[in-house]
Amino acid sequence: MSEAFKPNKSLVAKTFGRAAVHYDDVAVLQAQTGDELLDRLSLVTLEPTTILDLGTGTGRNVSALSARYPHASLYALDIAPNMLHQAKQSYRATLGLKRWLPKQKQPSFIAGDAEQLPLADNSVDLVFANLSLQWCDLKQSFAEIARVLRPDGLLMFTTLGPDTLYELREAWATVDDYPHVNVFYDMHDIAEAMMQAKLAEPVLDMDKYVLTYSNTMALMKDLKVLGASNVAHGRRRGLTTRSALHKVAAHYEQFRTENVLPASYEVIFGHAWAGQPAKQVQRDDGSIAVSLDQISGLSK
C-alpha cells in the first residue's frame, strides 16, 4: 500500500478518541461482525488462559469474552485512550456486581499499538480483533501477533476489504483525485502478510454487509461518529466545500434502491494459528506465493 493511502496513526487515535462517547450508538456493523466472530469462536475448542482483545474500542467484546472465559486474563488494548476509558465504563455497567464474583478475573485495559504490542513473547492464547486491523500496518501487526501468541495460540479477526464503501469512493471520484475513503488491503495482501508472519493454517473468507441510509449526509455523519472518516496520509486537508458535498450526494443517488442508499462493506473474516505455516510456497526470490485457489477455496 502506498504511503499516501496508509492510515496516519496519531490521527487514528485522535478520531477514534473523539468518537468514543457516541460510538456504540452507530456501530451496527461492528456489533454484527463481532457477534459473528464470537459465534465462530464457539466452534473452536480452546481454553485460553490469556486473551488479547486487539483494538478493543468501547470494549463491546470484552464483556462477552470475559463471560465466556471467566478464568482467563483478558487484555483490552487500544491506541485511543478515550476508547479505553469508555471500555472500562461499559465493562463495569455490563457485568455489574458479577464482576466481583470470586473467580471472575478483571480485564486489564492497556493503551498500546497493534504494531508494537506492549506484551511479552509467547504470552497470549487467543488474539481477538474485530474490525481494528484495517487501521494498522498488517505485516507489522501480524508479526507482533505471531510474537505474542503462545505455540498453538489462535488469532481470530475481521477486517475490511477494498470494496468497502465503493459507492462513496465512486461518488467522491467525480469531485477530485484525493483518497476520501480509506484504502483497504485485499485478501491476497492479508494472506501474504499472515504467511510472512509465519502464522499457520490461515483461513480467510469474505462476507458482504450492506447498511442503508436515507441520504449521503446521514452516512457521512455515521462515519464521523464512528471515527471511521478518512485517516490516510494523502487525504485532502482543509475544508470540504458545500458544492463538493452536493456533487458527491448527487452521484451517490445512482445507487439508490428501494428508496434507500446502500453503503457496502466487504468484511473479511480470518483466523490462523501460531506456529509454522503449513501451506506456504517459498519462491527463489524469497517471496511467498499464495495461490488464488488457496484463498478462494477457503471462501464461503
Which residues sit at the interface with ligand SAM, rule CB under 6 A?
Answer: 12, 16, 27, 30, 34, 55-57, 60-61, 78-80, 83, 113-115, 130-132, 135-136
CB 241 to ligand SAM: min, Å:
28
Q: Smaller CB distance to ligand SAM: residue 27 or 204?
A: 27
CB 277 to ligand SAM: min, Å:
24
Tell me how far apart the 2 most distant CA atoms of the chain are, in Å. 60
DSSP string, the chain: --GGGSB-HHHHHHHHHHHTTTHHHH-HHHHHHHHHHHHHHHTS----SEEEEET-TT-HHHHHHHHHSTTSEEEEEES-HHHHHHHHHHHHHHHGGGGGSTT-PPPEEEE-BTTB-SS-TT-EEEEEEES-GGGS-HHHHHHHHHHHEEEEEEEEEEEE-TTTTHHHHHHHHTT-SS--S-----HHHHHHHHHHTT-EEEEEEEEEEEEEESSHHHHHHHHHHHT-S--BTTSPPSPPPHHHHHHHHHHHGGG-BTTBEEEEEEEEEEEEESS--SS-EE-TTS-EE--HHHHHTT--
Q: Smaller CB distance to ligand SAM: residue 130 or 164?
A: 130
Which amino acid makes up residue 105?
K
Q: Smaller CB distance to ligand SAM: residue 132 or 216?
A: 132
Q: Smaller CB distance to ligand SAM: residue 24 or 192?
A: 24
CB 186 to ligand SAM: min, Å:
19
CB 119 to ligand SAM: min, Å:
12
- Residue 209's nearest CA partner among 19, 34, 23, 1 is 34
What cell was used for 250? 448527487
CB 179 to ligand SAM: min, Å:
17
Q: Smaller CB distance to ligand SAM: residue 16 or 251?
A: 16
Give the chain's length: 300
CB 143 to ligand SAM: min, Å:
13
Closest-by-Cβ residue to ligand SAM is: 57
Q: Smaller CB distance to ligand SAM: residue 108 or 241?
A: 108
Q: Smaller CB distance to ligand SAM: residue 79 or 154?
A: 79
